[in-house]
Chains A and B, each alone.
Chain A
Amino acid sequence: MTKKNYNFLLVGVGGQGTLLASDILAELGVRLGYDVKKAEVHGMSQRGGSVTSYVRWGGQVFSPIIGKGEVDILVAFEKLEALRYLDQLRPGGIVLVNDQAIEPITVKAGDVKYPDDALVRSTLTGAAGAVHWVDGQEIAESIGNPKTANVAILGGLSALLDTPENEWLETVRAHVPEKHIAINEKAFLAGREAVK
């Protein structure tokens, strides 16, 4: 059975764990037998800027970055970033969006407004084939550690792909400190459950 190829674009705000999530997603692809490329730009994480990471799973992956209109799944860790990168999605592509708003400096100290929720929802729904919501913060808090929100979001992503759960869990385990393995597994499974 030929595996389906995927072009993932992960977007978020510095500090949310977007890049760690993309590390896990990339390693998972290798485990599953894909050729994988992961491309990111370093430096914005600490300074509150947008963080983006391209992860491609394929038979033989050439381009490290995904052209506009060629993203299969947009995984957005934050709502404004979901809107910002929505135009990268291919027609009928899928959005998994974390229900979190982090105001940029232009909103905090300036005059522009953060897009209101109704607008966010309608814009996403209008542009994507399917929109799935996950509340990473809430899930992470419910299982006892707010820092596992990014892994909870990955759990949500796993529910949208036809990929073995145990492979996900093994990859997550390999990327978190040993003492945090149990709690991260919990976060992952809770996220997976929430999106199923």
Chain B
Amino acid sequence: MRRLLSGNEAVAHGAWEAGVTVASAYPGTPSTEIMEHLARFPGVYAEWAPNEKVALDVAIGAAYAGRRALASMKHVGLNVAADAFFYAAMTGAEAGLVVISADDPSMHSSQNEQDNRQFAKFARVPCLEPADSQEAKDLTVAAFDLSERFDTPVLLRLTTRLCHTSTLVELGEVGASHLYPLGHDSVQKPPRINTQWAAPKFPRNPTKYVMIPANARRRHPVIEQRILELAEFAETYEHNHIEMRAASLGIITAGVAYQYAREVFPHASTLKLGLVYPLPRRMIADFAARVERLIVLEELDPFIEEQVRLMGIKMYQPNEMNCYPNTKTIFPLIGELDPASVRAAGIKAGLFSPPPPPSLQDTSPISGVRNGGGGEGALPGRPPVLCAGCPHRSTLYILHKIGLPINGDIGCYTLGVIPPLSAQDTCGCMGASIGTAHGASVAGDSERHFAVLGDSTLFHTGIPALLNVAYNMSNVITIIMDNRITGMTGHQENPGTGRTLQQKETVQIELEPLVRALGIQRVTTVDALDVESIEKTLKAWLKEEGPAVLITRHACTLLPEERKEWLPLMVIEEKCNGCTICFRIGCPAILKSDKMDAKYNRPLAEIDPQMCTGCEICAQICPRDAILFREQMRALEEAEA
């Protein structure tokens, strides 16, 4: 049965087919759906962990206990999980362990674009890179086999254009015919549980698993030897293969870049690598000998290219290219590839003879960011903004008014940087807000610093940072914007929601006691939609010394229970004089009316009933009481009824 599956769905199918029984992850675009699908297969334990490092420790523990396990994350998640990644590389495990890294070239939704194949080389771990959804499934299965054969974790490296592209997949007989709903209680087992480890005993093997220096010194040569053996294995690995076409051009490629190679250079011969680390040196040399010109086509880092050069294999290199420290020749180092940019680079490098007609010689790349405005001539930008009714809006508006530095974090509130809210001065990675605020504070910055982050982010890496504020005594005022869900990635459960990924009821961590336990006693919780409370509390604290935490709490307006409460508000035209204060909160439900205020000749405000949820933030800040509150709207409806 062939079906269109996204790369993420296909990975989940592959993991199930391979007999994975434990999967742990933290949400992160473009990886999130892998777990959301996998959690619905029968016989799989799948959890959201507070962060990727914990998730990987969990997967490692399961693999130590003799069960095939995986941890899944976006590329920056591997930065968080790196500590675990490296010791797992040293120890190996008792069953297959796969680490999935979903990279994001062109940072469609990330703070950077990094090529996580580098992690494989760094940690001496093999890396598989699928080129479409079929391979995403097949290489997931292969990853577990590889992991057990060589007693090594395996890095399965995906990119956005693999994760969120749907291609045809042959599911085969073991393919699950349907997914169960979350929280099901089916007892059907995955098709391929390791029967020889039916009831494994947890290993008592400290030489292998306890990495004190004496043991670690014994393991390092083992992992170096392991990579040599993997390199030998790569020479005949079924997922590396040469496709000979015309001998005039040979392209070494992998992953989605393979698709661009086939699209733009249809007649070229290709050496398609499924295993991108370690590389098959003899296969590459053999391929090089069979073609006239040899190039490497890959996205982001010259990961393969540098290694091929190190092997001493001659590659085609147009003269003006190759200037250290940028060692990538021909194709762009920055951003994702696409057929037009690959073709343009190929033309510039003289790879086409004769060159294609002028109409195809377009050098500008596609996407980049088309939402920011300004990039495409005079067209108004359409940046993503906080939803109408978002409970973060009130806090960000107040912070903007106060005017002190706002250290931001990763989450929906990051969108607070966009005008007119313009309420964010730093944002680097998960949990960084509190640390950077503290850093500026102890450096003696003349201004008092705010830090903002969400509930899920606090659990992720905010806790140690907050502990640091208390323990090392700075003046930071932290605002935890608790919208009762992990929002930006599409509503996932977290330790504050009281439910697990697989919909089991569980402990619900309360933030105020947590903050107090971390050593900060000046903590209070307010309704996030209560503008006055937020402003009063923050202004009072600004007059006092010492750290403080404000928890602004209100469920994300898109949650099912919240949607039921939506009640669009209305502007009373006679009272509105077009002062524009309500526009300054940047709510997409507030429009400029066609009607003008007679005295000041300014457009009045108007509320779009299709978008407004009735959060009342605008009504609260309107200086002329020109916006009806929910109670008044209800009264109006009743009067009209």
Contacts and interface: CB of A to CB of B under 8 A. Distances in A.
The yes or no verdict on A and B being binding partners is yes
Interface of A: 13-14, 26-27, 30, 35-44, 46-50, 52, 61-70, 80-81, 83-85, 87-88, 91, 103-110, 112-115
A42 B29 contact: yes
A47 B386 contact: yes
Given A47-B384, A106-B381, A110-B420, A38 B340 contact: no
A84 B370 contact: yes
B339 A43 contact: no
Contact of B4 (A30, A80, A108, A110): A30
Given A69-B362, A80-B379, A36 B343 contact: no
B263 A62 contact: yes
Interface stretch (B199-207, B274-282, B456-464, B585-593): B585-593
Contacts of A104: 380-383
Contacts of B380: 80, 104, 106-107, 110, 112-115
Contacts of A112: 373, 380
Contacts of B583: 108-109
A44 B592 CA distance: 24
Given A80-B382, A114-B380, A65 B161 contact: yes
Contacts, number: 163
A112 to B, nearest CB: 4
Contacts of B365: 68
B366 A46 contact: no
B364 interface: yes
A37 B6 CA distance: 9
Main secondary structure of the interface of B (DSSP, over half): loop
Contact of A106 (B30, B264, B383): B383
A36 B132 CA distance: 12
A84 B366 contact: no
B360 interface: yes
Nearest to B412: A47
Chain B CB count within 10 A is highest, among A14, A27, A43, A113, for A43
A72 B588 CA distance: 33
Contacts of B591: 103, 108
A106 B168 contact: no
B379 A49 contact: no
Interface stretch (B211-219, B254-262, B441-449, B538-546): B254-262
B239 interface: no
Interface string B140-182: 0000000000000000000011101111100000000000000
B396 to A, nearest CB: 14
B623 interface: no
Given A36-B167, A48-B382, A106-B373, 6 more contacts: A26-B166, A36-B4, A47-B384, A48-B385, A68-B362, A107-B380
